[in-house]
Amino acid sequence: LGEFHLYDSANADGAVAAKLIKLARERGLAVLAHCDEVAIDKLMAHAPGTKLIWAHSGIGGTPVAHVREPMRRHPSLRGELSYRPGLTESGTLAAEWRDTFNALPERFLIGSDTWINQRWQHYEALMDEYRAWLGSLPAPIARRMGWGNGAALFNVPS
């Protein structure tokens, strides 16, 4: 359906956000939300089961525990990982993220966040970074996160 930003989680209770998330569920469409974990719960309360993609799996480096909890509560929630602070440490996948991906391999997908032209300058480097840490995961998990989860979300045959 598209992408939207909620700079204040209270806005997730607004009429527009509720209508958008209900429309996505009714039509079986995915929607990507830039928001915090409080807004995730509010949005999903409007329309449980919505295919909601959480941009960057949080805002500004949301702690991993605060990412895992909404994932536990909302089975249809997916976490997108572009420009995610704390994902890697010294170029390798952070241990807490490795544990999360091993526990929830079907719930995360990579993205590019190319919402402005300048981001295209960094696209190749971002994909190289993904390849590096995906390569450190078991192959089936890396394939899911690198392609399979996104393909399944959008009903693309793998």
- pTM assigned to the model: 0.94
pLDDT for 114 beyond 90: no
DSSP for 36-94, written as a single string: -HHHHHHHHHHSTT-EEEEGGGSSSS--HHHHHHHHHH-TTEEEE-TT-TTSEETTEE-
Least-confidence region, from 56-65, 73-82, 130-139:
56-65
pLDDT for 61 beyond 90: no
Q: How many CB atoms lie within 10 A of CB 47?
A: 19
CA distances from 55 to 5, 110, 158 (A): 9, 10, 23
pLDDT for 158 beyond 80: no
The arithmetic mean of pLDDT across residues 85-109, rounded, is 95
Q: What is the pLDDT of residue 51?
A: 98
Q: How many angstroms separate the CA atoms of 37 and 58, rounded?
A: 7
Report the greatest alpha carbon distance in the chain.
43
CA distances from 22 to 49, 86, 94, 114 (A): 10, 32, 35, 26
CA distances from 49 to 1, 41, 43, 117 (A): 15, 12, 10, 33
Spatial contact of 57 and 83, defined as CB atoms under 8 Å apart: no
The first and second tokens of residue 27, run together, are 């039509």
Q: What is the pLDDT of residue 24?
A: 97
pLDDT for 2 beyond 90: no
Please report which confidence band the pLDDT of residue 130 belongs to, taking 50, 70 and 90 as the band edges: very high
Spatial contact of 109 and 150, defined as CB atoms under 8 Å apart: yes
Q: What is the pLDDT of residue 116?
A: 85
**How much of the chain, in percent, has pLDDT values that exceed 90?**
91
Please report which confidence band the pLDDT of residue 25 belongs to, taking 50, 70 and 90 as the band edges: very high
